[in-house]
């Protein structure tokens, strides 16, 4: 995939004295769905709004192929956008909402009505086309908003936490639907969310943001398995932090010597990062590392929560069949089923 | 959600007892007095000397129809109402439009635009009496003088002393006083529209002008409705303003002023009450549907 | 609440440091228009102020807009006391009297409004919504429609020259709006707060005293200011119910000042008197304008 359809370079934005976005760069390939993920206040929404043209950057450039969008106002950018909620025009019917962008582009009436029905059909709401937004459920409203954003065939689709106001069940359905539509229409999409499950499940690539910077952008797999730094490791997925002792390129933890992935850390006591699925447990009477506090049954897998002698909590993800024996109070020995780990001075 | 009205007598009786005095006061002094007014309006108590008034049915009302002073006052009221409503709505709307996006110094402008609402019509009567003075050219003062100074001398006129324009002229101070109210209503209307809607329209390709035309203005229709109703009923009641500027003079009499004159100068209670009932009906005609609309909306929002 | 919305401003799209030419133009246009309107609005008050500083006799129509040649406050004490010019009316006297009755009626109105508002919002009885609607209608009626029986009533009772008639009138006819303001304010207090109290076995009265009342200050300020301003500026009740006695209330006194009882009209005194009677409401407005606005918007039922 050539990654130069949307090119954002060196965007910075301050609100008063608060730096919202700091030298943010991003390239998105045609047809790709890229998600910006991060805690609230990390600048992901600002980045999206700058791309949409709803805010003006202090510095930096935005290109779509060879077109310079940097100074183009929002209404000439030809981007579709779905907001968190409340963004349907209450005075227009569902069909009129969807046709709004086409009306602004002076598409004639019959053509835009036809297109509106086509899109409403795509999101499964053509039967509601004559209704008004307040007569729809939250999930339906967001579907309409999606149809509206896609109606004028935008070059980029921007999604600003479109699912965050919805119930869990509706959220996961709509999430899959967004992905299905995006793939079938081939619309290049920039998606913003604070929900990592959402981000990981539907994206081609996920960019994790922190304090106005893009920390790492990779496929969901790489992000999870090869986090570039401790922030990513902690932010994406569940991560155990246990103390170990580092000497040179190896670290000793739970009696094993593991390779250190990141080498900038000084020797001595360090924090070692281990995913729960790499923590294996074994019942023991004598040389126990920890005691089981509780076991959460999650279906095919279970999460066993243990407490080390120094008080640290360690999570282990085991298949449910294997973990039945780890009842609360059982003393266990811990084995790390991984060769290379991230460490930090902590 | 409101607390459920409890079916059990013991739980609501306390609350009911607390408002009984108010219910009694409103029943007697609002509804009771209205009934009494209607009763007087159907008697022949046309002067203080009638000690035992007799029932005459709608006589006093039919008399009003042929009373040229009443029809004159009514005509004045219609003229005044028209200019007042149109002028105040436009003025207030423009003010709201200029302020709605937020501008440095908004608080300053807004407080000045709203302060006329806090001042009594009677107190402003003196000034407006001056400003609307009919002298022109060399003798001019007030607005005529101001018009000369800005080179619009040809617009000078005799304001509330003119034969046909008197009622229109008096709408001017009323607009001055009430425009702030309309500003406040429209400004609140604008600000009640979520930002997301403007932004959604913007990314959908609407220019600023089109955002107003297609997204913001249509949503202010309920506000406009409220504005028209409120101004309408204020206008029908207009009294102090007219008295303050021009007293009871025939040329600027409106219904409320004529009612006062009939009651106090002529001691014709029958006529006074009949006029009052006509006024009440006019206002009820616009206020009752409005109340129903507001209550329906409130119930929908729960 | 509508009044709060006024404080919420939309996101400005433009970055303040860089404005395009078009945005620059509209900004200048807006400021120019706002300033022009500002002059129109201030103009009548300007005329009041400058002409109250020109003494008693130097005030003519043709120089209405001119600044005083030298500051002359001599019209102020004369307007206040009536002096030789208006020996019959003392503005000072009727202002003091009016202030006394206006403060009383506002306080009583606020207390009644608070109790009613609590019942209509949180302690409903069967039919309370209908009763409330009937109250609301009482807010909009033209008072002319109750005035003549009311005049007959107070005349028969022989109290038509008493200031307490005005207190009563403002309290009674203020019930609807005061109830409305408090009811809307209390409706925004979560029901859970009341329910928590009920679960704790507090009585409804107890809940009002120890939960609702302490939260009510803003609504009290709104109602007090509203009732103060409307009673102070009231002319209709004053002229009907005081049997034309010009001295009783400030509005009637002012009117007599303006129309003048002597042959000669002293504009300087008129202007000064108008300014003086406007000062109390103006002061309230300057310091508590936000609350005044809330009362105002409640009157549209949209507050």
Confidence band, pLDDT 50/70/90 cuts, at residue C63: confident
What was the ipTM of the complex prediction? 0.89
Superfamily of structural domain A6-231: P-loop containing nucleotide triphosphate hydrolases (3.40.50.300)
**B75 to B79, B153, B283, C276: CA distances (angstroms):** 6, 29, 16, 35
**Least reliable range by pLDDT among A38-42, B131-135, B224-228, C196-200:** B131-135
Q: Provide DSSP, B266-297.
A: S--HHHHHHHHHHHHHHHHHHHHHHHHHHHHH
Q: What CATH architecture does domain A238-344 belong to? A: Beta Barrel (2.40)
What is the phi/psi pair of residue A256, to 5°? -115, 155
Mean pLDDT of B11-30: 94
Looking at residue B28, the DSSP 8-state letter turns out to be I
B210–A54 C-beta distance less than 8 A: no
Picking from C219, C187, C179, A131, the residue whose alpha carbon sits closest to that of residue B299 is C187
pLDDT tens profile B137-170: 777 778 887 888 887 777 778 787 777 788 898 9
Mutate one of A17, A55, A74 to test the C interface: name it (highest C CB count within 10 A). A55
Chain C residue with minimum CA distance to A71: C20
pTM of the model: 0.87
Tell if the CB–CB gap between A75 and B197 is shorter than 8 Å.
no
pLDDT at C16: 45
Cβ distance B201 to A103 less than 8 Å, yes or no, reads no
Q: Which residues of A touch C17 (CB under 8 A)?
A: 58
Q: Helix or strand or coil: residue A62?
A: strand
Check: CB of residue B266 under 8 Å from CB of residue B250: no
Q: What is the pLDDT of residue C256?
A: 75
pLDDT at C260: 60
List chain B residues with CB under 8 Å of C187.
2
Quick check: C282 and B115 CB within 8 A? yes
Distance CA B36, CA B208 (A): 57
Contacts of C38 (CB under 8 A, 6+ apart): B109, B112, B113
CATH architecture of C91-298: Orthogonal Bundle (1.10)
Confidence of residue C71 (pLDDT cuts 50, 70, 90): confident
Q: Is C269 within 8 Å of C86 (Cβ atoms)? A: yes
Question: Which chain A residue shows the shortest CA-CA distance from B221?
Answer: A91
Contacts of B189 in chain A (CB under 8 A): none
Count the neighbouring beta carbons within 10 Å of the beta carbon of residue A153. 12
DSSP A267-296: SEEEEEEE-GGGEEEEE-SSS-SEEEEEEE
- Nearest by Cα to A162 from A183, A188, A144, A135: A144
Residue of B nearest to A53 (CA): B203
Cα–Cα separations (whole angstroms), residue C241 to B38, B130, C167, C233, C248: 19, 29, 11, 15, 10
A52 contacts A129 by C-beta, under 8 angstroms: no
Residue-level pLDDT at B198: 92
- Sequence ranges of the domains in chain A: 6-231, 238-344
Choose from B123-132, B230-239, C190-199 the range with maximum mean pLDDT: B230-239
User: Which member of B34, B118, B185 has the closest CB to residue C285?
Assistant: B118
Q: How confident is the model at residue C88 (pLDDT cuts 50, 70, 90)?
A: low
d(CA A228, CA A218): 10
- CA–CA dist C252, B161 (Å, integer): 24
The subunits that touch chain B, with at least 3 C-beta pairs less than 8 Å apart, are A, C
Secondary structure of residue A73 in the 3-state scheme: coil
Give the pLDDT of chain A (346 residues) as one tens digit per residue. 456 899 999 999 999 888 999 999 999 999 999 999 998 889 999 999 999 999 989 999 999 988 999 989 999 999 999 998 878 999 999 999 999 999 999 999 999 999 999 999 999 999 999 999 999 999 999 999 999 999 999 999 999 999 988 888 899 999 999 999 999 999 999 999 999 889 999 999 999 999 999 999 999 999 998 888 888 888 888 899 998 898 888 898 888 888 888 877 788 888 899 999 999 888 887 788 889 999 999 889 999 999 998 889 999 999 988 888 888 988 999 989 888 888 888 6
* Residues of chain C contacting A74 with CB distance shorter than 8 Å: 13
Query: Which residues of chain B make contact with A78, given a CB cutoff of 8 A?
Result: 205
Asked if B267 reaches chain A (Cβ–Cβ under 8 Å), the answer is: no
| Token couple for B286 | 């616009």
Lowest mean pLDDT of A302-311, B187-196, C36-45, C253-262, name the range: C253-262
Domains in chain C: boundaries: 19-79, 91-298
Nearest-CA distance from A136 to chain B in Å? 15
Q: What is the pLDDT of residue C84?
A: 67
Task: Calculate how close chain A gets to C294, using CA atoms only, in Å.
Answer: 26
What is the spatial distance between Cα B274 and Cα B60, in angstroms, rounded to a whole number? 6
Q: Which of B131, B281, B134 is nearest to C267 (CA)?
A: B131
A256-260 and A290-297 as β-strands: parallel, antiparallel, unpaired?
Answer: unpaired
Tens of pLDDT along C174-194? 999 999 999 999 998 999 988
Q: How far is the C-alpha of B95 from the C-alpha of B113, rounded, in Å?
A: 8
Alpha helices in chain A (DSSP H): 44-52, 94-104, 109-122, 138-151, 168-185, 196-202, 220-225, 230-235, 320-323
Mean pLDDT (chain B, rounded): 89
Q: How far apart are CA C166 and CA C98, in angstroms?
A: 10
Among B35, B291, B6, B281, smallest CA distance to C130 is for B291
pLDDT band at C247 (very low <50, low <70, confident <90, very high): low
Q: What percent of chain B has pLDDT over 90?
A: 63
Q: Confidence class of residue C12 from pLDDT cuts 50, 70 and 90?
A: low
Strands (E), chain C: none
Per-residue tokens: C87 = 């020996």
pLDDT of the residue at C15: 46
Q: Where do we find the tokens 């209607």?
A: B38
Residue C157 has pLDDT above 90, yes or no: no
CATH H superfamily, domain B58-300:
MetI-like (1.10.3720.10)
Q: What are phi and psi of B174, to 5 degrees?
A: -65, -40
């Amino acid at each position: 995939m050539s990654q130069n359809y949307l090119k954002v370079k060196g965007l910075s934005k301050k609100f008063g004295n608060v730096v919202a976005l700091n030298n943010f760069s991003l390239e998105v390939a045609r047809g790709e769905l890229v998600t910006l993920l991060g805690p609230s206040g990390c600048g992901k929404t600002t980045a999206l709004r700058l791309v949409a043209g709803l805010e003006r950057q202090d510095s930096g450039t935005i290109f779509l192929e060879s077109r310079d969008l940097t100074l183009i106002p929002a209404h000439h950018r030809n981007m579709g956008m779905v907001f968190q909620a409340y963004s349907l025009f209450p005075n227009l019917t569902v069909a009129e909402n969807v046709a709004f962008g086409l009306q602004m582009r002076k598409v004639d009436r019959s053509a835009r009505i036809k297109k509106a029905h086509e899109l409403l059909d795509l999101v499964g709401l053509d039967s509601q086309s004559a209704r008004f937004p307040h007569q729809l459920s939250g999930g339906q409203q967001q579907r309409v908003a999606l149809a509206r954003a896609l109606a004028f065939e935008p070059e980029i689709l921007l999604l600003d936490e479109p699912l965050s106001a919805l119930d869990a069940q509706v959220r996961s359905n709509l999430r899959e639907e967004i992905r299905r539509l995006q793939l079938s229409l081939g619309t290049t999409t920039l998606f913003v969310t604070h929900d990592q499950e959402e981000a990981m499940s539907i994206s081609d690539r996920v960019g994790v943001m922190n304090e106005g910077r893009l920390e790492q952008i990779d496929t969901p797999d790489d992000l999870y398995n090869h986090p570039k730094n401790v922030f990513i490791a902690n932010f994406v997925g569940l991560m155990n932090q246990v103390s170990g002792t580092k000497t040179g390129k190896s670290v000793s933890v739970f009696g094993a010597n593991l390779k250190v992935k990141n080498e900038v850390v000084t020797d001595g006591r360090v924090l070692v990062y281990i995913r729960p699925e790499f923590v294996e447990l074994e019942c023991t009477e004598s040389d126990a590392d920890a005691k089981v506090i509780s076991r959460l049954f999650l279906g095919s897998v279970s999460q066993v929560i243990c407490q080390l002698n120094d008080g640290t909590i360690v999570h282990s993800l085991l298949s449910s069949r294997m973990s039945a024996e780890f009842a609360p109070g059982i003393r266990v020995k811990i084995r790390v089923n991984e060769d290379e780990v991230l460490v930090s001075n902590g | 959600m409101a607390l459920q009205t409890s079916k059990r007598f013991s739980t609501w009786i306390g609350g009911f007892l607390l408002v009984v005095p108010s219910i009694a006061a409103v029943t007697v002094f609002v509804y009771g007095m209205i009934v009494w007014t209607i009763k007087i309006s159907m008697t022949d108590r046309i002067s203080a000397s009638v000690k035992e008034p007799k029932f005459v049915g709608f006589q006093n009302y039919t008399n009003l129809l042929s009373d040229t002073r009443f029809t004159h006052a009514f005509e004045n009221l219609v003229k005044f109402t028209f200019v007042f409503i149109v002028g105040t709505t436009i003025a207030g709307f423009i003010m709201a439009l200029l302020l709605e996006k937020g501008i440095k110094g908004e608080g300053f402008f807004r407080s000045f635009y709203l302060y006329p609402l806090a001042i009594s019509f009677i107190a402003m009567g003196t000034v407006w009496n001056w400003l609307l003075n009919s002298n022109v050219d060399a003798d001019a003062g007030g607005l005529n003088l101001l018009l000369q100074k800005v080179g619009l001398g040809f617009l000078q006129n005799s304001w509330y002393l003119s034969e046909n324009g008197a009622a229109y002229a008096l709408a001017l101070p009323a607009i001055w006083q009430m425009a702030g109210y309309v500003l406040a209503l429209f400004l609140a209307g604008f600000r009640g529209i979520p930002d997301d809607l403007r932004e959604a329209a913007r990314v959908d390709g609407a220019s600023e002008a089109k955002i107003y035309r297609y997204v913001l203005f249509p949503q202010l229709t309920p506000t406009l409705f409220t504005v028209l109703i409120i101004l309408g009923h204020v206008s029908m009641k207009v009294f102090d303003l007219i008295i303050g500027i021009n007293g009871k003079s025939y040329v600027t009499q409106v219904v409320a002023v004529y009612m006062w004159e009939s009651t106090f100068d002529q001691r014709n209670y029958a006529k006074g009450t009949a006029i009052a009932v006509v006024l009440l009906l006019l206002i009820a005609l616009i206020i009752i549907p409005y109340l129903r609309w507001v209550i329906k909306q409130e119930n929908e929002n729960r | 609440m509508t009044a709060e919305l006024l404080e919420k401003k939309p996101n400005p799209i433009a970055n303040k440091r860089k404005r395009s030419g078009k945005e620059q133009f509209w900004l200048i246009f807006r400021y120019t228009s706002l300033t022009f309107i500002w002059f129109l609005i201030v103009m009548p008050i300007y005329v009041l102020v400058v002409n109250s500083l020109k003494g008693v006799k130097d005030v003519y129509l043709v120089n209405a807009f001119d600044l005083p040649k030298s500051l002359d406050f001599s019209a102020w004490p004369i307007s206040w006391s009536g002096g030789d010019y208006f020996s019959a009316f003392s503005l000072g006297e009727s202002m003091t009297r009016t202030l006394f009755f206006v403060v009383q009626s506002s306080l009583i109105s606020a207390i009644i409004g608070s109790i009613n508002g609590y019942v209509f919002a949180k302690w409903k009885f069967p039919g309370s919504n209908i009763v409330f609607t009937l109250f609301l209608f009482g807010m909009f009626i033209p008072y002319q429609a109750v005035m003549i029986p009311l005049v007959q009533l107070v005349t028969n009772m022989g109290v038509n020259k008493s200031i307490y008639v005005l207190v009563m009138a403002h309290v009674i006819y203020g019930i609807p709006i005061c109830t409305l303001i408090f009811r809307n304010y209390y409706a925004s207090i979560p029901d859970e707060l009341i329910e928590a109290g009920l679960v704790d076995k507090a009585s409804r009265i107890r809940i009002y005293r120890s939960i609702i009342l302490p939260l009510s200050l803003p609504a009290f300020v709104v109602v007090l200011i509203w009732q103060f301003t409307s009673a102070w500026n009231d002319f209709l009740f004053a002229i009907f119910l005081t049997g034309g006695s010009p001295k009783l209330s400030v509005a009637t006194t002012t009117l007599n000042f303006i129309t003048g009882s002597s042959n000669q009209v002293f504009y300087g005194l008129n202007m000064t008197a108008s300014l003086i009677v406007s000062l109390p409401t103006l002061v309230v407005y300057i310091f508590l304008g936000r609350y005044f606005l809330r009362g105002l918007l409640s009157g549209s039922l949209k507050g």
